[in-house]
Every structure is written in C-alpha cells, then in structure tokens.
Amino acid sequence: MNDQLIDLVSLEENTLAEVTKIIGGSKIRARLESLGIYEGVKIKKISKSLLKGPVIVEVKSCKVAIGYGMAKKILVKKSND
C-alpha cells in the first residue's frame, strides 16, 4: 500500500515522501532541479493547495512553492520514517 505512487497534490500535509518520478521534459526537470527537487530526493509537504493554488514543500530545509500544474507532474512515494 505504501509503495503506491501519488502526485504531490494528493499527498497529505505534514508527511514525508520521496520523489520517484517527474513527468515531463528536460525543461521542467532543470527548473525543479535548480531548487533541489529531483528523482530520489526526500521532501516534506508543508501545505496543501487551495483552489488549485501552489503546494508548499520543504526540501533540503528550504520551503518551496510549486504551482498546481507542476505539482501534478511530481510523483512521490510516502516514506515510513
């Protein structure tokens, strides 16, 4: 059950997860990577999206706001720890 992939929008608040897949080309990957979001990185979701607004995550102890459409393209796996 825990191995299921969900997108970042569906992830519950205050949970840790690992980014497992980024759907999209090199441009979106480069953009995400510049702020430390890449396949394999651990993140924590800080706040959920309201009215299709951005999702906020903590990655490498920084908070980052990710637009709704972009967050939909980031697939994560919940971490147990």
Binding site for other proteins (CB under 8 A): 26-27, 30-36, 38, 41, 46-54, 56, 60-70
- 66 class by beta-carbon count within 10 Å (0-12 exposed, 13-18 middle, 19+ buried): buried
Sequence-distant (6+) residues with CB within 8 A of 31 are none
Rounded least distance, CB 50 to other proteins, Å: 3
Rounded least distance, CB 59 to other proteins, Å: 8
Residue with tokens 């480069």: 30
Using the minimum distance from each CB to other proteins, give the nearer residue, 16 or 56: 56
Rounded least distance, CB 11 to other proteins, Å: 15
